[in-house]
């Protein structure tokens, strides 16, 4: 009996010792885990596609110049006039414009590589009624679906095949009709069914990529990209070179399996891997809702189909559901630093009232699952105050305001030389950041910046000084900064390349 008791006691001691060791290891790991301010990098173009960064991903798409959201203008060769949605929509289609602007520009919705809907300026769709082309449908149906037939030797010379089996033609400038049944091999300028296509703008986001490949090919393309673009060894490189966190853009469809068409499920597994790798190398993860339902800014990276910004009050419940899903899944992960509720909402399309209501609801969704993760609110782009979100922070704990600083995109920056760009960082950017970085307010975060600028023929030392100035100023942000991006086809946008080539030193 005593021998059995002694054996049991030894077992209990052994179990307690093992439990103590595990507890100490966990405590030590938590103690060593990174805290703000973070030196981080965006894993851009990984879980939300951006074709300007990874153009090779789009190479296998047939008719890849006619993806969703492509803005096109169509000119009658016989009349030498542009097609126009009269009044911007809600009326007939005419062919009487000598020059093209908004009403003469159409956005494509791609059905397959040859079949499309045409969205006009007021967001209606072109259709046919009694053989006449009109632009009145709020949603496209069978009568709003057309085939673009391209000439074999000149693909910008087209015909438009209507659902009635006949082609569009412009016999006069006052109307466009779908009743040409003549010779389909006659591509001469005087044929009223022949048009000249001008592609004004294109989009290369996740919607364009997955819908371009279609349901048969897109899953394999995306799975291969997710499993090869960012791997575990990238986290080793980042941690060894002074980075303490990653900001990972995700799309709203990440919570769905199967994903809503045309998106592909599987990015969630890649995000799971990122948490595992970050924790392995003692790094933190900032999950960033980069693409919100309805598109919060109309840009490629927002998951938009055609470039229109449509996020608003009606989308708040669906968007909060995505945040709730992410917070529930990762709220207890050691690697979670923060959840960013939305990337770059655009003013005035996204109103401050709608955004504030969403931010409050999103914050509460995160707090249901974690009291230790930060919640990040992204400043609006466009005509919005740098400090407009500060009043919202009252009474909310562990809150962060995200600002994005690029010496690009405005015509103003094209006029600056090297010294002027550096002075702009040291003065205007520093002052702007100081306004957001308040003693008793939320933390500040420069969530996107880059070593690229508009200066032509700048030398290596110029880039080094420019990057150093940004590191110095953005290092004052109380939550830290995140470079855009870790990888990119353009060297100065790639922090990996910048580190490997001694343009940036973080150690």
Catalytic residues, by residue number, are: 344, 448
Rg (CA), the chain: 27
Residues 492-500: contacts with CB under 8 Å, at least 24 apart: 492/450, 492/451, 492/452, 492/463, 493/53, 493/450, 493/451, 493/452, 495/41, 496/234, 496/237, 498/451, 498/467, 499/241
**Burial class of residue 462 in the structure, from the number of CB atoms within 10 Å of its CB (0-12 exposed, 13-18 middle, 19+ buried):** middle
The Cα 224–Cα 245 span in angstroms is 24
Cβ atoms of 156 and 72 within 8 Å: the answer is: no
CB atoms within 10 A of CB 16: 10
The Cα 49–Cα 225 span in angstroms is 10
- What residues have CB less than 8 Å from 21, skipping those under 6 apart? none
Cβ atoms of 433 and 473 within 8 Å: the answer is: yes
Q: Is the peptide bond before 348 cis (omega within 30 degrees of 0)?
A: yes
DSSP state of 57: G
């Amino acid at each position: 009996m005593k021998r059995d008791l002694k054996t049991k006691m030894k077992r209990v001691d052994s179990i307690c010792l093992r439990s103590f060791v595990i507890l100490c290891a966990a405590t030590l790991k938590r103690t060593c885990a990174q805290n703000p301010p973070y030196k981080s990098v965006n894993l851009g173009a990984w879980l939300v596609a951006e074709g300007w960064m990874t153009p090779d991903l789009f190479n296998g798409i047939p008719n890849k110049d006619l993806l969703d959201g492509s803005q096109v203008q169509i000119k009658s060769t016989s009349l030498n006039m542009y097609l126009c949605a009269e009044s911007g929509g809600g009326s007939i289609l005419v062919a009487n414009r000598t020059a093209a602007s908004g009403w003469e520009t159409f956005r494509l919705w791609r059905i397959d590589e040859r079949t499309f809907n045409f969205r006009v300026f007021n967001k209606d769709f072109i259709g046919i009624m009694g053989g006449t082309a009109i632009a009145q449908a709020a949603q496209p149906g069978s009568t709003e679906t057309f085939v673009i037939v391209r000439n074999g030797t000149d693909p910008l010379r087209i015909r438009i095949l209507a659902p009635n089996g006949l082609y569009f033609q412009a016999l006069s400038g006052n109307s466009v009709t779908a009743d040409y049944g003549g010779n389909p091999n006659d591509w001469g300028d005087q044929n009223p069914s022949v048009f000249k296509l001008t592609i004004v703008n294109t989009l290369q986001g996740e919607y364009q990529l997955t819908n371009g490949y279609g349901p048969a090919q897109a899953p394999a393309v995306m799975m291969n990209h997710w499993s090869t673009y960012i791997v575990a060894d990238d986290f080793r490189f980042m941690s060894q070179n002074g980075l303490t966190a990653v900001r990972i853009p995700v799309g709203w469809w990440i919570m769905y399996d199967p994903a809503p068409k045309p998106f592909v499920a599987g990015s969630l597994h890649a995000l799971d891997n990122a948490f595992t790798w970050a924790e392995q190398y003692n790094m933190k993860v900032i999950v960033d809702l980069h693409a919100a339902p309805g598109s919060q800014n109309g840009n490629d990276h927002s998951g938009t189909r055609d470039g229109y910004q449509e996020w608003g009050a009606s989308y708040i419940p669906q968007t909060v559901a995505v945040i709730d899903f992410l917070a529930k899944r990762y709220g207890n992960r050691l690697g979670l630093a923060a959840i960013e509720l939305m990337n770059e909402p655009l003013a005035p399309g996204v109103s401050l009232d709608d955004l504030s209501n969403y931010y409050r609801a999103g914050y509460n969704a995160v707090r249901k699952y974690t009291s230790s993760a930060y919640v990040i609110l992204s400043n609006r782009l466009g005509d919005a105050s740098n400090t407009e979100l500060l009043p919202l922070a009252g009474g909310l704990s562990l809150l962060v305001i995200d600002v994005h600083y690029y010496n690009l995109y405005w015509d103003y920056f094209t006029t600056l030389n090297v010294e002027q760009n550096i002075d702009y960082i040291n003065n205007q950017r520093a002052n702007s950041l100081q306004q957001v970085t308040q003693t008793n307010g939320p933390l500040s975060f420069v969530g996107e910046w880059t070593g690229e600028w508009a200066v032509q023929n700048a030398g290596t030392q110029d880039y080094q000084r420019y990057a150093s100035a940004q590191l110095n100023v953005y290092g004052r942000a109380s939550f830290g900064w995140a470079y855009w991006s870790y990888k990119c086809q353009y060297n100065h946008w790639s922090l990996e390349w910048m580190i490997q080539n001694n343009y940036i030193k973080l150690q």
